[in-house]
Chain A
Amino acid sequence: MATIDIKNLKKVYPGAEDATIKQASLEIEDKEFIVLVGPSGCGKSTLLRMIAGLEDITDGELLIDGNLMNELSPKDRDIAMVFQNYALYPHMTVFENMAFGLKLRKVPKQEIKEKVENAADILGITHLLDRRPKDMSGGQRQRVAIGRSIVRQPKVFLFDEPLSNLDAALRVQMRAEIKKLHRDLNATIVYVTHDQIEAMTMGDRIVVLKDGNVMQFDTPMNLFNNPANKFVAGFIGSPSMNFIEGEIIMESFTTFKSQDLKFSAPPDLRPCLKPYIGRRVIFGFRPEYIYDKAVEKTKRLSESMEIEVQALEPIGSETFVYFHFTGNPNHQFCFRSDSGFAYNIGDKITIGVDIQRLRFFEADTEQRIM
């Protein structure tokens, strides 16, 4: 069993004013694939390194399989780590790289040979066993780094942005391979990335971090559909969610009013918004859920909004349409449209948002209202 319990973990570097990790509490199940994601400096790598034992824990508890790990050195935690720059020993062959940890633990030679060849087989690098790292491509090196972790058969695998140094196509391929590996190995994996698409495609659950705090810890779909706060809402999804700040007022019905836009809330949402009358809120709407009223007839949409097309980004299957509300060209938004419809810059369109996808956040706390 390899559960990871993180209780109120805190990390302050000596001499630093602010804590790098302020307060992290997570419960990771056995065999889960957990992704730590967030912008630069959010503390995801630090958190991973604290699990590994490469960083000291200032406060809080870390338990793996119910055992307290705070004081244990990395080699006693039964973990393995794959580094962003692979960290392969350049002066050793692939075989020796993979065998290094086992040799240190005085595993018998025959057993080492079996384990290394087995891992090499899984990763398809058997033909590379006699090569040196400098004679291999980035993808091959990454596989060796993974292989080095596999041979030790640890309880927990830790990945620190392993695909960041690879090109886009290779990244996509490796993502799938790592997912498959997770199924084959049946192990707990904690994976750090800054790429939210990578996070969404790979994780069973995702930890979104910002400035050393856990913003939300949930499944990908929940993060997408029910973000806990504005940060998560804006971080997950590409292109990111559109935000307009405004206030709730009473005008026949509960109405959202902002500089460019005014519409009354759909009936289902009115009860939730009523307590916020007179307060500032942020209205969030995803590019995926904006529809051209001239085209979309079936979905239930919000009240009409008049927009003007500012820029177009055709990506093949869709076009990203960048627009502004008529009268306010400074504030740009985005919606995704089937490429079938040809827009031109300057076109005036009437749009509506799928009423099930309207999201509101408190302006001051940024927590989601609904």
Chain B
Amino acid sequence: MTIKPKNEQKIWAYTFLAFPLLLLSIFVFFPIAFAFIVSFFDWNLLIPDKPFVGLGNYIELFKDPVFVKAIKNTVIYTLGVVPVQTFLSLFLAFIMNQKLRGRAFFRTAFYIPAITSSVVTSIIFVWIYSKPGLLNYLLSSAGVDSNIDWLTNPSTVLPAIMMLNVWTTSGYFMVSFLAGLQNIPASLYEAARIDGASQWKQFWKIMVPMVRPVTYFVVVMSLIGCFQVFDQIFVMSSGGPDNASTTMSYFVYQNSFKYFRFGFGAASAVVLALLIFTVTAVQKKYFPPEAY
């Protein structure tokens, strides 16, 4: 019996899919499932005894003041960074889309922070944010008396890291928006101009609605990135002072790799994943990506 072409295509399709699927399963799906299972055990890597504790880890999580603080910090971080980042990168893209002199230079300059190692930028900013650092120097020259270490002050450490994150990733999202902007036909703006729209009105009434699919993408990616923020916390503040900058992913790291409590850490990771999932689902339902 000869294999009909259609079936043959199917076989090839599955063959080609098999290898990446295998990789994904081993390195992504399996660890996720395993972490989920581990969260129900008191799992210490070095102790052979790993008793089943059911929801014990989860109950302990919500009684742990550091975890509650971590949730609070993560939410504040996300609520602060996502809108600012989205708007800033849209605004930058809008400017970059005009015919300005030195456009190519500015585009590159805005994008470079995004491709620089986050550890490198964090280390540089530790110095900038220090008491005798660049930020205080600039503020003092502008007449603002500022003599604090931004990273050891509990009320400024999280905003400082948030600003760093905005600076780092806005360039990346600017590029996404730029692509979206260039898909808007120039004639739409011209029609708006003739209708009497100022630059500002054009921005709000034409550009922002038309660029909605990109906005959706940027917000989702930004949300996910913010919920998972780790590098900067690890390098710059180690979650301090007094857990003022401990985020949920940092909490996961601490409990799993420093305190040897994998089950507990896994449980906190599961909570984080559920949080991200819920937020994205809500966004999809109430703020769908279609522009029109």
Contact = CB atoms under 8 A, between A and B. Distances in A.
A81 B194 contact: yes
B193 A85 contact: no
Interface in A242-287: none
B291 A80 contact: no
Interface in B198-217: 201, 205-206, 209-210, 212
Given A85-B187, A87-B187, A91-B210, A75 B292 contact: no
B125 to A, nearest CB: 40
Interface in B174-208: 185, 187-188, 190-197, 201, 205-206
A83 B187 contact: yes
Nearest to B195: A101
Nearest to A106: B196
Query: Most chain-A CB neighbours within 10 Å: which of B185, B201, B205?
Result: B205
Contacts of A83: 187, 190-191
A85 B185 contact: yes
Contact of A90 (B192, B194, B205, B292): B292
Interface string A86-99: 01111100000000
Interface residues of A, number: 26
Contacts of A87: 185, 187-188, 190-191
Nearest to A79: B194
B193 A132 contact: no
A227 B32 CA distance: 81
A89 B206 contact: yes
A117 to B, nearest CB: 18
Interface string A103-146: 01100000000000000000000000000111000000000000
Contact of B292 (A74, A84, A91, A104): A91
Contacts of A100: 192, 195, 197, 205
Given A87-B188, A91-B209, A91-B210, A80 B194 contact: yes
B209 A74 contact: no
A88 B292 CA distance: 12
A73 interface: yes
Contact of A73 (B185, B192, B193, B205): B193
A74 B291 contact: no
Contacts of A84: 187
A53 B195 CA distance: 12
Contacts of A54: 190, 193-194
B189 to A, nearest CB: 9
A75 B194 contact: yes
A137 B255 CA distance: 61
Interface of A: 52-54, 73-75, 79-81, 83-85, 87-91, 100-101, 104-105, 132-134, 148, 152
16 contacts: A53-B194, A54-B193, A54-B194, A75-B195, A81-B190, A85-B185, A87-B191, A89-B188, A90-B291, A91-B210, A91-B212, A100-B197, A100-B205, A104-B195, A133-B292, A134-B292
Interface of B: 185, 187-188, 190-197, 201, 205-206, 209-210, 212, 291-292
Given A75-B194, A85-B187, 19 more contacts: A53-B194, A54-B193, A74-B194, A75-B196, A79-B194, A83-B191, A87-B185, A87-B188, A89-B205, A89-B206, A90-B292, A91-B209, A91-B210, A91-B292, A101-B195, A101-B196, A104-B201, A148-B195, A152-B195
